[in-house]
Each structure stands twice: as structure tokens, then as C-alpha cells.
Amino acid sequence: MVTVVGFILLLAVVMVLIKGRVALPIVFVLFPVIAAVILGFPMSEITGFVGKGLSSVLNVAALFTFSVTYFSMMNDVGMFDVIVKKVMRYMGNKVALALLLAAFVATISHLDGSGATTMLVTIPTMLPIFRKMKIRPEALLLFASAASGIMNLLPWCSSVMRLSSSTALDPQLLWRTVFPLQVVGLILVYAMTIPIAKMERKNGAGMSDEEFEMLKTDIVGDGGAASLAGVQVNQKLIAFNMLLTLGLIVVLLTGLINANLGFMMAFAIGLFVNYRDVKVQNGKIKEFGGNAMNMVMVIFAIGVFLGIMQNTGMIEGMANTILAFIPESLGGSLIFIIAIFSVPLSVIIGSDAVYLVLAPILISIAAQFGGTAMSVGTSLLIGGSISANITLIGPTPYLALGLANVSMGDHLRYSFKWIWGIGVILAIIGGFIGIIPF
């Protein structure tokens, strides 16, 4: 009975996520509570299950809160805009360089962990250049999606947050595990500019040097204090903010201090230095904190879902049932197979369903064949992250499509094979360096 209800709950959650007609907290709070009641558990016991689930996601919620507020602050003071303008000054009249710049802008703007922010910065900034150079907007979407997808592997981004909340994997340790693949992934994205540029030139892309210089002058301007977003930037503090951010990333990567404490300290220091008036500081806390609230609510709702699924025995029952149908010969390669097909799986059912619903079950199954939670999490994270902006499920891809005036069909036809190719290469490299078992 527990197993049957578990599968029904799983199917119901996936279907609702695919249709996208209700908010995530509704799904992850009401559905599992109803399932537990159907199984005959009293509310007092269900409350205990929920308490255990909430305890398991507290660290993740804290990390997300302070990481989002920190990078929202850095965006507010113009750090990202200054970096982009500096790079654009040295951009040459080549299609490959335009593609490379698009990837770079997406990489930098995604440091705040927000896919929507990345698209709102990258596409309006780069689309005029692409139009003037006659580069198809699908190419812009490809590089914005691929670069931000690789950056999704950062420990404060939603992909890692959601996977960590459903599997109890430490976000910082997860990032340190996949960091070599993140570096390789960025190299692959930037290297991809060469074949795509060749393809676009065959399609008629390019412009005269005179036209290009006029375009660059319009975008970069006179190099004054104004940022790309029209925000006045305090040039004296830009160097400080860059050093603070670089130091924070180094500390997180080396594991010198806990990620939660690192972001808390960096946010406190940055808030004090950039905004000296206490009223302004309090106003900025409210402003930046609002950006994190939606995801924090989702994380706590996931805690409810997991607490009930795990403590009622549903996950164990479903894992044992699925395990009975997996041949012994396939078990050893299960995690690698998951990694290879995680991109199309995430595109079809959405990364939320993969991270929040399938991940705990796949971890239980893989454990029977000697697989670890970290290896399963890594295999899912690679494909789920880089496919975040080509998935059929989720708002950010459609925001990007609207900004670029491209249909989902055209986006998938242009981008899917390249992004899946990156996913497959990363899975193979992960196998050779021991992150993902073959």
C-alpha cells in the first residue's frame, strides 16, 4: 500500500510540475500530507515527519538566502556592468568574438544565481550587436543558455540548492566535486564559438569595420560612470567589490570556512561598505531579501515533501520495486547511463521533477549496486544544470524566448544537440576522472 501510494504521489507531482498550473509550495506541501493521511498516519506523526524534513533543509535555505542577497547587492552597485563594459572595449569585428562576448556576459551575470537576471542582462545587451552583425538570435540563446547552465553548478544556484534539499548533499561539497567539470564545461562553451561562428558566417553573418565601430561606440559610450543598466557606479568601490567577491569564491572553493558563514560575512561587509546610511542598509536588505524569498519557500516546502516521503517508507518501497526490474548486468553502469540521458530527461519533464522527485529514488536504487549519493547527484546535476534554459518546463526559458523573439521549436532545433553534446562529453570526462562511475 505504501509503495502504491508513493508511485501515485510521484506521478501526480510530476504531472502537476509539467503542466505548471500551481505554485511549487502547494504541490510539495499539500500532496504529501494528503498521501500520508490516506496511508493512515495521524497528524501528530505527520508533524514529526515534517519536522525532520525541515531540519534537513535549513542549511540549504540559509545558504540560498545570503548568496542571492549578496549577488543582488553586487548587481545593484554595478560590478557586473563594469566588467562587461571593460571587455566590450576590446571586442573586435568578428562573429566568433560576438559569440564569445555573449557567453562571457551570461557567465558573469549568472554569478547571482538567477536565470531570469542572466537573460534580462545578456539578451538585451547582446541582441543589438547580433542583429547588426546578422547573427541569428538562436545563437545568442544557445550561448546564454549554455554558459548560464554551466554556471548553474555554483553552490548558491537553484540547481544545486534543489538537489541538495532533496538529497541532503552538502552544496559546497557538491560544487567542489563537480568543479573540474564546471571548468571543462566553460572551456567547451567558449570553444563552441568556433564552429558556431563558421556556421553563422555561412548563413550571412558579418558587418563592415565602420559599422562595427559605430555600434561599439553606441554601446560602450564614453567610459564614464554610467553602467549598462543606467546605474551610477562608484568607481572607487568597484575594485573592493571585485576583490571581496574573488576572495569569497576562493574561500568557498578551498573549503576554508562554511559556505553559509562565508556569504553571511561577505554580505555584511559589502552592505556596510557600499551603503553607509542605516536606513538605506535596511531598505536594501528588504529589497535583496525579496529576491530570495520565493526559492526559500520552495526549499522549505521540499523539506515537507521529503520528510513525509522518507519517513513513511514511500521512497524505500518505490526503490525496491524499481530495483526488481533492473538487470544485474546493467546495475554497475546505471549512474553513467543517468548522466548520459540527464539532459533529454530534464528537457522533457523539467529539472524540478528530476532533482526533487527522481533524485531520492535513484539514489536508493544506485546504492544497491554500490553507487553513492554524491555520484548520482553529480550525474543528475550535470544534465539538469546545462539544460535549464532549453527545458519545456519552467518560466526562464520562455522569458529568454520572448526577449529574443524566438520560438521554443527553433531554440531546441538550434541548441539541443550542442547542449546535449556538452552533457555527454562532461559525463565521459567525469567517468575518466572518477566523479561518475562507468
Buried/exposed code over 338-375 (b: 16+ C-beta within 10 A; e: otherwise): bbbbbbebbbebbbbbbbbbbbbbbbbbbeebebebbb
275-279 long-range contacts (CB < 8 A, ≥24 apart) are: none
362-371 long-range contacts (CB < 8 A, ≥24 apart) are: 362/338, 363/167, 364/315, 364/316, 364/318, 364/319, 365/319, 365/322, 365/323, 365/326, 365/334, 366/334, 366/335, 368/319, 368/323, 368/331, 369/331, 369/332, 369/334, 370/332, 371/334, 371/335, 371/437
* Alpha-carbon gap, residue 274 to 391, rounded angstroms: 38
* Residue 383: other Cβ atoms inside 10 A: 29
- 39 confidence band (pLDDT: 50, 70, 90): very high
Assess whether pLDDT exceeds 90 at residue 317: no
* Residue 11: other Cβ atoms inside 10 A: 11
- 267 confidence band (pLDDT: 50, 70, 90): very high
What mean pLDDT, rounded, does the chain reach? 85
Cell of 75: 548587481
Q: What pLDDT is recorded for position 196? A: 96
pTM here is 0.73
Q: Give the list of residues 6+ apart from residue 213 with CB closer than 8 angstroms, or none.
A: 93
Cell of 416: 539541443
Which range of 201-215, 303-317, 326-340 scores highest in mean pLDDT? It is: 303-317
- 175 confidence band (pLDDT: 50, 70, 90): very high
Assess whether pLDDT exceeds 60 at residue 36: yes
Q: What pLDDT is recorded for position 193? A: 95
Alpha-carbon separation of residue 336 from 153, 184, 366 (angstroms): 18, 18, 11
* Alpha-carbon gap, residue 253 to 247, rounded angstroms: 10
Q: What pLDDT is recorded for position 365? A: 86
Assess whether pLDDT exceeds 90 at residue 432: yes
- Mind giving me the DSSP string for 289-334? HHHHHHHHHHHHHHHHHHHHHHHTTHHHHHHHHHHTTS-HHHHTTH
Q: What pLDDT is recorded for position 395? A: 65
Q: What pLDDT is recorded for position 229? A: 45
Q: What is the mean pLDDT of residues 402-430?
A: 92
* Alpha-carbon gap, residue 95 to 200, rounded angstroms: 8
Assess whether pLDDT exceeds 50 at residue 272: yes
Q: What pLDDT is recorded for position 227? A: 46
Q: What pLDDT is recorded for position 280? A: 92
Residue whose C-alpha is closest to residue 388's, from 115, 117, 201: 115
Cell of 263: 556569504
Q: In this predicted model, which residue has the larger pLDDT, 417 or 83?
A: 417
- 218 confidence band (pLDDT: 50, 70, 90): low
Specify which residues 226 forms β-bridges with.
232
Q: What is the mean pLDDT of residues 327-347?
A: 85
* Alpha-carbon gap, residue 79 to 229, rounded angstroms: 11
Dihedral, CA of residue 222, residue 227, residue 231 and residue 237, to nearest 10: -100
Q: What pLDDT is recorded for position 240? A: 92
DSSP three-state, residue 368:
coil
Assess whether pLDDT exceeds 90 at residue 343: yes
- 226 confidence band (pLDDT: 50, 70, 90): very low
DSSP three-state, residue 256:
coil
The proportion of the chain whose per-residue pLDDT surpasses 70, expressed as a percent, equals 92
Q: What pLDDT is recorded for position 438? A: 77
Q: In this predicted model, which residue has the larger pLDDT, 211 or 159?
A: 159
Q: In this predicted model, which residue has the larger pLDDT, 350 or 161?
A: 161
Please tell me the least confidently modeled range out of 108-122, 136-150, 167-181, 371-385. 108-122
- 76 confidence band (pLDDT: 50, 70, 90): confident
Q: What pLDDT is recorded for position 326? A: 72
